[in-house]
Structures are given as C-alpha cells and as structure tokens.
C-alpha cells in the first residue's frame, strides 16, 4: 500500500480523498493556487505545495507542476479527483514516465472512453445501442448546420472532452446551431483544452441514468447499481439519487451487464461511470442508449456509497496499489435510499445567475468530514452528510466551479430521504452570496419529484417562468403568522427590559396584524395563541437575535431562518422567502396612508447580472437592435451567458469592451 499520495484537485473532492486516505493510514499532499491558500483541504492535508496563480490554466491544469510537487514531497501516487487533469491521457502518461502511480483507469481506457467521439465509435462497434448522431470532425458552423439538418431537430452539440454540463448547447433549429456552435467550441477549449464538437439527436422526455463501475487490475469488473441524475439545469446535474425510482431489477441487471461488458472491452479498472440516456416513455425499460463514459470518480458518488456501504475512494486507492476487489457482484446490495443536492453559488431568484463573494455566514446542518464512514456506510450523522470545501469567511471566487457543498441524505425509503433533505436545507445557513437552497428544497417537495416521474426537462417544464419560491399553503402561512407574532412579542419584551425607563412596567403588545404574501392575519398572544381567532398550538424556543428557529405547530416541523427588517421580519423556510410585515394591531390601519416607493426604470440599460468577463460585445453605438437579439456574452465560472435585448431600441452609449472584467450590476451599454 502507498505511504503517501498527492491529490491533484481542490475543494470538496480534495477533502473527500484526504478523509479516506487518513483513515487508511496514508499521508496526503495537497496542491493549491493563490485563491486556495487558506482553503480547508490545504489545512486537512499533511503537506501542501503552492503551484501558481488562481486561474486553473496557470495552476491545477499544469501537469509539470503536479509532477514537481510529487517529486518534492515523495508522493508515490496521484488521485486526480474529477475535472482538471482527471481524464487527460497525457497526464497519466507523464506520471507513469516518472514512476508515479495514477489512481485511476489505464491510459488506453481513458483514451478510448474519455473522448466522447471515439467512445461512441467503440460502443457502436461493440454492438451497444448509441444515440443517432455525427461522430466525425466538424469543420465549421456551416458544416454543423448541414449535419443538424440531416439528423433532425432537436440536436445536442457537445464538446468532445466536455463534462459537468460545460460545452453543451441544445438546438431546436438552424438559428440555435448558428448561435451556439462557436460558443461550444470556446467552452471546450477554455475548460478542457479541446475545441472538437460532436452533434447527436436529442431524445425528448429522456431520463439520465448512470451505472457505477468498479474494476481491478486482475480482470474483475463489477457494477454498483445505478444513479438517477435526470434533474438538471443547463445540462448540469442538480439532484442525484440512488437507486432510481424508474429502474426495475431486470433493467438494472441488463444495464449493468452491458456496461461491464463495455468496460472489459477496453481493459478498464478503477472507478468509472457509464452514462445512459433512457426513454421514460418505455415502461419495459429496454430503450436505453450509451451516452458516454466518465473515466473518473463522479461528483455524485456519495449516494452510491450510502446504499452499498462501499467507499469508492478507498477502492480506487486499493486497485491502484494492485489489490484485488474483496467482494463480488453478489455482494453488491441496495440498502435504503440516498439523495444528493448540489448547493451552488447561484441565485435562482435572478435566473440562476452565478454568485461570487465572501461567505459571511456558513453553517451546514452537520459539520463536513466529521464521520470516518467505517461503521455506517458513509451515511454521515443521523443520515445527513455534508461534503464541502469552503469555510465561513472564505470566498467563492470566479475562477472555479460554483458548487459550495453537496448535501446527502439517507433513509430507509425515498420519501424519508427527501424529508431529511427538506429539514437539512432549512437548517443550512449561507449568507453573503446567492445560493440555491430554496430551489432544491422546492424540488424535494414537488409532487412530480415525489412521484418519481422525472426527465431531464423537469426544471424547464416545472419552472418555465423562473423560480419564485416554493409553493406555500394557506395552512403554512397561518403557522408562519403565529411564529412571526410570537417573535414580535419576544422582541418587544426584550426592548422593554433593555430600556429601563418605565421600570419594566410597560407590557409588550400581544395583538398583531401580520401580513404574509399580501394577506393580513390577526395574531393574538393574550392568553392562548390564536390566528384569525383560531387556536394555534405553537411550540417554539426563541431568543431575540436568533438567526435560526425551530418550531412545531401540530405535527408540522419548521426550521425558520429569521432576519429582522425595517417593516417586520424576513422568514425563510421550506424553500420560500416571506417578507412579513408585523405591526401592533392598534396602528396597522395607518399603513393605508403610506406612500408607495416605485423602483426606477432600468430597462434602457444592459446591466451585467454577475461578476464576470465580457467575452464578446455584438453591437456598437448607433446600432438598432430587436427584442431577443444577443447583445453581449459574459463568462462567469467557466460558463458563457448570452445577454439579450429586452425590446427594440437603438444603442445610445457603450460603456465596456470585450476583455473587460465586470462587476455585478455594471452598465454595459445604454439604449434609447
């Protein structure tokens, strides 16, 4: 077994590998850029080596720097994590030339399966069902248009070396191809150093299901069941679960055996994932097609660990060291259900725009990396596991992926795992930047999610007009009105005690007018707590200043984030934000005399919605533009965002130029 390994990655996956290596008695070496000098993974590792500036292209993507760090520290092997150099054959070959073990598959397997174009050719030759498409070299945009016309719309354009939702565009017509082809090439080149693109038929109403593969160097290859990854946004996974609510035992066996055969055909060992696109319209479960193979550990690997009890990182290390797998296919079981939500630095209330900045407050529902995983199958604390790589006071920068943490829950049933997600998300505190906690909580509560009727179009279909908070019932509003009234009385009583000018004789108000979502409720705490005259059995502990309150009303449990505002409270729970106006009942009628403040009209400005790089500016002063016309392209967190005109107008003034780094709300141009 290795005595020391280096992790050629950052963030939560670096922490993940270090945690298992430490349990195995293996020393670890971290490498870090300027931006990550104080990151948790650097503190967790036994040694750390600085490898360059913040941009990945100048640090984590330079193989020579990784190899130099291995030589400097005496690391015998490298775990690449995912992304960065994890699927670069040149990196694995360079390590082998230096006598350093690559904790991953053999070079020939990476070459055969890591390239989406070549893998499809090989899969087709092996008799595996593949999605109709063009897998040759595409010359230019005109060639892409001809190919798309022949295949038939809709089509998916993908960067050959892509992954993580980057370098992908869905095209419903020729216009989409012309607008998106060059962007796919650029994203592929910027993120993966490869601008090749392939085009394939997009299957409508598809499910995205993947099979976890694990093999050793002695010819044994197993499948560790499936993961359902259908809930995606911009082709990037948001929710993953294991097992899939769609897959039957017969389907699981057919998929697994086919994926094992494909893996054996390329001599695969270590952990890997075969991704399949499945027609949800076929109840027989026979309509599944090879999509691609990721020759590395997946972001969503924890859900597989939860239901199988297998530590995939440990197995990768043992396989790299030459050990045989110590279990067989018959030993692979399914115990319970696991769900993973990716907590991203993005604002779902503003069209999911990337959000960078400092984590002024970061308090996950349970601490990350507190569980060694040996005794409970890596299920965390009480079935709640947090894989993270950030810290309170740290910064989520524009240089890397926007993922803050992975929240994983395990339960005996799917509903139990989902209910744990809702409770854990209510207790997850993040302040200082936008995040998607409310959004994923809303998904966990959605009737369609609960039914298991999932497709990759779930988010677009269920939130066609964007996300505005989870649906809130009238009963929940009344419960929140009771909570708000209780908090208001507690705060008034606290103020009375602090003031001391009336010798504590002034009684705090007990009757309140509480307005939630435009509806005003009469809340009284005079004797029993009532809302609109109906008794509400509230159990709550609150001290003025508490940011998070746990409350129970009847059988309903709430974790409520509390923020005091000028007009009352801002209460966030169960995936929705409620601006709550709380006024003493005897003065509430005076609000009708208040003057409404109208926000300024900003429609004549093209405003940068997030910090980023202005990649392209498509218009100049004096140009006429039409509604929907692309005006500029802003790159943030390795993704390009097209900014379009909201209405027909003429460009009056241009305030920025291509290549500029823009702050959020920076004015790019003015229209008239």
Q: Residues with catalytic annotation?
A: 292
Residue 587: CB atoms within 10 A of its CB come to 10
- Paired tokens of 422: 């809702």
- The token duo for 263 is 């893996």
Strands 47-52 and 27-33: parallel
β-strands 519-524, 511-516: how paired?
antiparallel
535: tokens are 């008794």
Q: How far apart are CA 154 and CA 382, in angstroms?
A: 44
Instruction: Give the tokens for residue 548.
Output: 């998070």
Q: How far apart are the first and last CA of the chain?
A: 69
Give SS3 for 193: coil
List CB contacts of 548: < 8 A, sequence separation 6 or more. 427, 429, 559, 560, 561, 562
Query: Please, are residues 242 and 302 in contact by the beta-carbon 8 Å criterion?
Result: no
- Measuring CA to CA, how many Å separate 294 from each of 83, 101, 493, 598? 10, 20, 59, 51
With H, G, I as helix, E, B as strand and everything else as coil, classify residue 34. Answer: helix
Q: What is the edge-to-edge ordering of all strands in the sheet holding 47-52? A: 47-52, 27-33, 4-7, 77-79, 101-102
According to DSSP, the β-strands at 206-215 and 270-279 are antiparallel
Between CA 560 and CA 143 the distance in angstroms is: 55
**Quick check: 275 and 291 in contact, CB under 8 A?**
yes
């Amino acid at each position: 077994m290795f005595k020391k390994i280096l992790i050629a990655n950052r963030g939560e996956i670096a922490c993940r590998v270090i945690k298992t290596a430490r349990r195995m008695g293996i020393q670890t070496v971290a490498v870090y850029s300027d931006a990550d000098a104080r990151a948790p993974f650097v503190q967790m590792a036994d040694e750390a080596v600085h490898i360059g500036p913040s941009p990945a292209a100048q640090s984590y993507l330079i193989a020579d720097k990784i190899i130099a760090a291995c030589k400097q520290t005496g690391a015998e092997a490298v775990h690449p994590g995912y992304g960065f150099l994890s699927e670069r054959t040149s990196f694995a070959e360079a390590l082998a030339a230096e006598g350093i073990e690559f904790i991953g598959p053999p070079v020939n397997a990476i070459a055969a399966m890591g390239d989406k174009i070549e893998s499809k050719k090989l899969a087709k030759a092996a008799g595996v069902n593949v999605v109709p498409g063009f897998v040759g070299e595409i010359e230019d945009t005109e060639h892409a248009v001809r190919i798309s016309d022949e295949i038939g719309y809709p089509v998916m354009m993908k960067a050959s070396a892509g992954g993580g939702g980057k370098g992908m565009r869905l095209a419903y017509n020729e216009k989409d191809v012309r607008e998106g082809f060059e962007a796919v090439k650029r994203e592929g080149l910027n993120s993966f150093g490869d601008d090749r693109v392939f085009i394939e038929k997009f299957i409508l109403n598809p499910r995205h299901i993947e099979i976890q593969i694990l093999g050793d160097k002695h010819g044994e290859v197993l499948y560790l069941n499936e993961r359902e990854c259908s809930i995606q946004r911009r082709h990037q996974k948001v929710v993953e679960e294991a097992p899939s609510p769609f897959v039957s035992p017969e389907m699981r066996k057919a998929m697994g055996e086919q994926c094992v055969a494909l893996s054996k055909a390329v001599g695969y060992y270590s952990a890997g994932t075969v991704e399949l696109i499945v027609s949800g319209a076929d109840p027989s479960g026979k309509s599944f097609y090879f999509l691609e193979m990721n020759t590395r550990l997946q972001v969503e690997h924890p859900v597989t660990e939860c239901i199988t009890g297998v530590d995939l990182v440990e197995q990768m290390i043992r396989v790299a060291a030459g050990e045989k797998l110590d279990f067989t296919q018959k030993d692979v079981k399914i115990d319970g259900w696991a769900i993973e939500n990716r907590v991203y630095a993005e604002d779902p209330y503003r069209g999911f725009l990337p959000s960078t900045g400092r984590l002024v407050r970061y308090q996950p529902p349970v601490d990350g990396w507190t569980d060694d995983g040996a005794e409970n199958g890596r299920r965390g604390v009480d079935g709640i596991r947090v894989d993270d790589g950030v810290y309170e006071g740290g910064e989520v920068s524009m240089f890397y992926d926007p993922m803050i943490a992975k929240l994983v829950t395990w339960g005996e049933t799917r509903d139990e795992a989902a209910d744990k997600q809702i409770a854990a998300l209510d207790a997850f505190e993040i302040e200082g930047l936008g995040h998607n906690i409310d959004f994923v909580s809303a998904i966990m509560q959605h009737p369609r999610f609960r039914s298991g009727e999932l497709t990759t179009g779930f988010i677009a279909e269920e939130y066609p007009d964007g996300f505005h908070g989870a649906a809130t019932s009238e009963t929940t509003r009344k419960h929140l009105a009771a909570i708000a009234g209780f908090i208001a009385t507690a705060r008034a009583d606290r103020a009375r005690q602090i003031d001391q000018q009336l010798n504590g004789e002034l009684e705090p108000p007990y009757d309140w007018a509480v307005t939630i979502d435009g509806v005003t409720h009469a809340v009284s705490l005079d004797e029993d707590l009532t809302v609109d005259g109906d008794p509400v059995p509230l159990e709550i502990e609150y001290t003025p200043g508490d940011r998070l309150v746990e409350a129970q009303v009847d059988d309903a449990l709430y974790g409520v984030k509390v923020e005091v505002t000028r007009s009352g409270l801002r209460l966030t729970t169960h995936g929705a934000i409620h601006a709550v106006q709380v006024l003493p009942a005897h003065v509430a009628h005076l609000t009708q005399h208040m003057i409404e403040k109208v926000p300024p009209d900003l429609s004549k400005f093209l405003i940068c919605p997030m910090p980023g790089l202005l990649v392209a500016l498509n218009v100049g002063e004096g140009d006429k533009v039409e509604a929907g016309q692309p005006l500029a392209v802003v790159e943030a967190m390795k993704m390009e965002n097209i900014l379009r005109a909201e209405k027909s107008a003429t460009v009056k003034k241009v305030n920025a130029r291509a290549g500029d780094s823009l702050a959020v709300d920076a004015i790019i141009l003015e229209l008239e």
